[in-house]
Amino acid sequence: MRKRPVSLKTLAQALSVSMSTVSRALRNHPDISPELTRKVQLLAQELQYSPNPLAMGLLRSQTYTIGVIVPDLVTHFFASIISGIERVANEHGYHIVIRSSYESYQKEKECLADLLKLRVDGIIMCLAQETQEYAHFDALLDAEVPLVFFDRVCRATEVATVVVDNQEAARRITRHFFEGGYRRIAHIAGPASLNITQERIEGYQQALAACGLPFEESLLVHCDLSIASATAATQRLLALPNRPDAIFGVNDTTAFAAMKELKRQGLRIPQDVALVGFTDEFHATVVEPTLTSVMHPTVEIGQEAALLFLEQARAATHPAPRQTILTTQLVVRDSSAPKLPTRIDGRKTSSGVRILGHRYS
């Protein structure tokens, strides 16, 4: 792990004084005694402290502005969360400045630097899918600048976060398929580095085990959240010798791509392959068939993130990071309708699975 640079917080803790005292001593402020000034400056020299002008500027000023960074500005999911952030911010006299990382790690760093140059009072953000290194947040954490992550998060022991119960949502989807008579349940997951990917995979595997179904590695494929990658993942699943009869995607974009590919190959939804998405975008209600999806409380996510920011901004001392976990709802539509049961005798057949005297065909 990369060693963090020495910060004002490091010097303050070593000398048992406040960060503002250290800052003034480094600038030879007359309110600080010559003896303490000398101690601070000697320690700073010994530890090779280098001041961060952006973080120091944030400590000295208040602009009543919150920087918001999202992976994209197109989907209803992020637009709705931004609406929730703005609603709470405006109620408390704050304005927001919005930037998009376009799912790029490099762009995310640029957005963060640009917002700090604007002297925002803190940051609320969702990680880009490319982000796997988190050093660009060190300066904010060391300076105790308010920082809140939502949905895709990292360093949850250090940073306040707002998330949904991804494991339970994935368990619910898998159980929904099982109860509808589906037995070869596949999952198109996101990039392995994202917390939402890992949590949804865990929920999927837990539900398979609870339903008495084996986990098959071939039924779990990853994509990079783009339409092209999700389409390719769907093609891999459909090319299996024993293809899945149900697929759930890591988000609705993935599910829409899968739906298009299923139709292109002449497969019926849900008669041949059932489909469930995640996030419940508006388009889920207008595609044919309508898409079953997990509905996120998006406005509430934004509101909770803004409240966590305010909690930090108004505290006399930096509060311990808190995690808010919200619940989701599975909205069942036509794309995952149950298989129609057909009467059979009590014998096991090779063409289907027998449940309570019925064969799900």
User: What digits encode the pLDDT tens for the residues 65-119?
Assistant: 999 999 999 889 999 999 999 999 999 999 999 999 999 999 999 999 999 988 8
State residue 341's pLDDT score: 62
Nearest Cα residue to 166 out of 137, 213, 198, 130: 198
Q: pLDDT averaged over the chain?
A: 89
Q: pTM of whole model > 0.85?
A: no
State residue 340's pLDDT score: 73
Burial class (CB in 10 A: 0-12, 13-18, 19+), 109: middle
User: What are the start-end ranges of the E strands in the chain?
Assistant: 65-70, 95-100, 122-125, 147-150, 160-164, 185-189, 220-222, 246-249, 274-279, 292-295, 323-326, 329-331, 341-343, 353-355, 358-360
State residue 7's pLDDT score: 81
State residue 355's pLDDT score: 30
State residue 2's pLDDT score: 45
State residue 153's pLDDT score: 96
Task: Return the H-helix or E-strand segment holding 12.
Answer: helix 8-15
- List all residues 6 or more positions away from 329 whose beta carbon is below 8 Å from its beta carbon: 294, 295
Q: How far apart are CA 110 and CA 28, in angstroms?
A: 33
Residues of the chain with pLDDT under 70: 1-4, 51-61, 341-361
- List all residues 6 or more positions away from 271 whose beta carbon is below 8 Å from its beta carbon: none
Cβ atoms of residues 68 and 122 within 8 Å: no
State residue 346's pLDDT score: 39
Q: What is the DSSP letter of 151?
A: S
Q: How far apart are CA 236 and CA 208, in angstroms?
A: 21
State residue 358's pLDDT score: 31
State residue 151's pLDDT score: 97
Q: What is the DSSP letter of 181?
A: T
